[in-house]
Amino acid sequence: MSSVFDDEMVQMRLTDLEYKFPKMTDEEIIEAIERIYLEEMGRPIETKMNIGRMDGNFESSDAKGTALVLANKEDPDEVKEVVFISRGSVSTEDWVDNLFSIGVGTGGAQYARDTKNFLDTITEQHDIEREVPVYALAHSKGHNTVAAIQLKDAYFTEVNTFNGAQSNAIQQIHYDNGFRLAIGREFNIQDLDDESVQSIPPAELEAFAKEYYKDKESSIHQTRSKSDFLYALDSFPWMFAVGNVTTYRTDHENKGFVGAVEAIPQEELQALLDFLAPYGHVYGDEGVAGVMDEAFSDALTYYKDHPNADPLDFDTMKSTVSVLVDELETAGYLSEEDASQLRWELQIFLTGTEGIYMRIHEGEGTSISRLVEDAIFTGVSYKLMMENQIASINTLFEGVAKSAEAHHKLEALMNEIAEGKSYHGGDLYLEGSAGGDEIKLNLSKTLDAYEAVQKVLDQQDTLLERYLAMMEHEYIDFYQHKKKQLASKMSVMESNYRSYQHLLPSSYGGLITNLHFRESFLPLEGAPLEGVASLVKQNRESIGEKAEAMRQAVEEMFDVDYNVAGIFTYLSG
């Protein structure tokens, strides 16, 4: 990546920081980006930045992200490059959405459409020339979005993503019409729809997708944790990874989620996705509750259209979730007690779901009264039994979710890659040793403190200068006033010299016939520096000495590797 942000740690920190952008002003965003660049590179960034926000205000998707328009510092109208950061998963709902829209493949295409439309708008707003490079950074679901755009249009000069949700062949069919037509030709399907696509063996569809996009994936670079839950989703049917992929293991205590998913046979995963697929669009609009509420009508419609379809194999699904829980226990994510309880709760949930499903399947073509009865049965079953079951399952999954979240976040990945430094809460820590003791320095907070001290010192200098200027003014005015007063008195004495005859000694017989002063005033050397001014100056010198001592100590330990001296020099102006 030849972008201004060509350092991987800078890329990852900016991608992580983007999640906070909605609560920051443009000025705060620019300041934070400049600080990250300074900390990582040891020098200030030499570019003018403009911020373009994509806040998910689309009717068709919740796509979010930020465009950084980087221009010449001397000529802000000369745009040098655009860096787009695609926002990923930020909530529990996003994780479920990853399963439906990406894992199942029933959504995600509109995210790519809305994102590309946003970037086209940014190009128009800033009158950006076609040859200006556009780079993409992304995390989580953001990878899925920018990868879809890149595979279809080769829109970006380069794509760098971290712990990404991978591409899905079915999703790509919905987004890329060229790919859709190629699938139809390759597998001899004239009228390609979701049902006919799912009839293609997943492994063959994945292989074809990889071959079809091989010329466009070279500009995509991925850095991934094998401990990330999304890494396990690669085993789902129709999923395929693109680009140059570098992997790390960030969890050195648990075995990761890959084994849990890979232990499930592909045909069972296929059965699970077949079950979820009809509800993907419902989830997008109404969430989990909507999926359950709409299950009756969706399934009824499906089996009316396909009267010869076999009923779903719920025994297979029960086996699938049981294997999944076993593997999560083996990997260390669930205690024996929690695994036993979760296994039980899932079996009850699927049994309840099976009762609803089979009643619908068997009732195909029956009377209106039977349909009404089925609707009532579905609603009562969900409200009285399954709703509580879902809540209990969610509680048991909390520990697994926390581990999944920790190793999905970028901080764990950054700490695995970094050498001699680490990251916590968005701050950069430098690691070293002195006298046999290990030292960990929060460089971000140290620089914050140093910069704050410099601002205080600058303020004190300004205030002291103003104070002395005022004192100087008052002192000179007073001096000039006294000179004027004295000169006036001398003039009066000169014009009324006879009035001072009595001042001569009585023994002196002479008369005063003239009086003339030869005035000579010593030059004013400046107002005396005392009192408040003296205390302020002493305090300023004391603070400055302590700040410099801190600076020197940090520079002595870390300057060789991190150009800390250059950072301090920049912050001190």
CA dist 371 and 92 (Å) reads 34
φ, ψ of residue 458 to 5 degrees: the values are -65, -40
CA dist 329 and 260 (Å) reads 9
Instruction: Write down the H helix ranges in 265-397.
Output: 266-276, 280-305, 314-330, 336-362, 368-381, 387-396
pLDDT higher than 90, residue 124: yes
Q: For 15-73, how does the pLDDT look when each residue is reduced to its tens digit (9 = 90+)?
A: 999 999 999 999 999 999 999 999 999 999 999 999 999 986 676 678 899 999 999 98
pLDDT of residue 564: 87
Q: For 316-325, how does the pLDDT look when each residue is reduced to its tens digit (9 = 90+)?
A: 778 878 888 8
Amino acid identity, residue 379?
Answer: G
Q: Quick one: tokens of 43?
A: 């020098």
CA dist 551 and 559 (Å) reads 10
- For the segment 470-482, the average pLDDT, to the nearest whole number, is 78
Task: Please tell me the least confidently modeled range out of 299-308, 351-360, 438-447, 494-503.
Answer: 299-308
Could you tell me which residues come within 8 angstroms of residue 434 by beta carbon, excluding any fewer than 6 positions away?
557
pLDDT of residue 190: 85
Domain boundaries, the chain: 1-166+217-248, 253-418, 441-572
CA dist 437 and 249 (Å) reads 28
Task: Give the strand order in the sheet containing 79-86.
Answer: 48-55, 64-71, 79-86, 134-140, 158-164, 220-225, 244-248
CA dist 537 and 532 (Å) reads 9
- Three-state DSSP at 340 gives helix
CA dist 122 and 24 (Å) reads 20
Task: Please tell me the least confidently modeled range out of 225-234, 348-357, 371-380.
Answer: 371-380
Q: Quick one: tokens of 193?
A: 């729809």
| H/E stretch holding 125 | helix 109-125
The pTM (predicted TM-score) of the whole model is 0.76
Instruction: Write down the H helix ranges in 397-442.
Output: 398-408, 410-417
Which listed CATH number (1.10.1070, 3.40.50, 3.40.1350, 2.130.10) goes with 1-166+217-248? 3.40.50
User: Which residue carries 């001592």 as its tokens?
Assistant: 549
pLDDT of residue 150: 97
3-state percent breakdown (helix, strand, coil) of the chain, nearest 5? 60, 10, 25
Q: Are 425 and 410 in contact (CB under 8 A)?
A: no
Which regions of 13-77 does DSSP assign to beta strands (E)? 48-55, 64-71
Could you tell me which residues come within 8 angstroms of residue 555 by beta carbon, excluding any fewer than 6 positions away?
564, 565, 568
CA dist 63 and 113 (Å) reads 9
Strand partners, 79: 71
Which regions of 375-518 does DSSP assign to beta strands (E)? 421-424, 427-434, 437-442
Q: Are 185 and 148 in contact (CB under 8 A)?
A: no
530 — pLDDT class (breaks 50, 70, 90)? low
| H/E stretch holding 512 | none
pLDDT higher than 50, residue 116: yes
Strand partners, 536: none
CA dist 338 and 414 (Å) reads 31
User: Which residue carries 């009562």 as its tokens?
Assistant: 380
φ, ψ of residue 87 to 5 degrees: the values are -75, 145
Q: For 261-282, how does the pLDDT look when each residue is reduced to its tens digit (9 = 90+)?
A: 777 777 766 665 665 555 555 5
